[in-house]
């Protein structure tokens, strides 16, 4: 038994596992109900850049005040 690590699940890990399982169940329900869109990488990149720019602008305004 010395060669094997014992794997135990602590309470926070088990709570996280329950949350992940809930997220998966919700996602599968969305797929089944047709509440999904095609993956659009360019759209994700564009939205991310806009979000980053807005955060950068906000930070600059706080520093300049």
pTM for this one? 0.49
What pLDDT was estimated at residue 24? 97
DSSP readout, 1-65? -TTSPPP---HHHHHHHHHHHHHHHHHHHHHHHT------HHHHHHHHHHHHHHHHHHHHHHHH-
Q: What is the band of 63 on the pLDDT scale with cuts at 50, 70, 90?
A: low
CB 9 within 8 A of CB 17: yes
CA 45, 47, 23, 16 torsion: positive or negative? positive
Percent of the chain with pLDDT over 90: 60
- What's the pLDDT tens digit per position in 8-26? 667 788 889 999 999 999 9
Residue with the bigger pLDDT between 15 and 33: it is 33
């Amino acid at each position: 038994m010395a060669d094997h690590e014992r794997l135990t699940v602590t309470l926070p890990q088990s709570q996280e596992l329950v949350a992940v399982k809930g997220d998966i169940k919700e996602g599968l329900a969305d797929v089944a109900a047709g509440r999904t869109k095609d993956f659009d990488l360019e759209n994700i990149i564009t939205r991310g850049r806009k979000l980053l720019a807005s955060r950068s602008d906000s930070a600059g305004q706080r520093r300049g005040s």
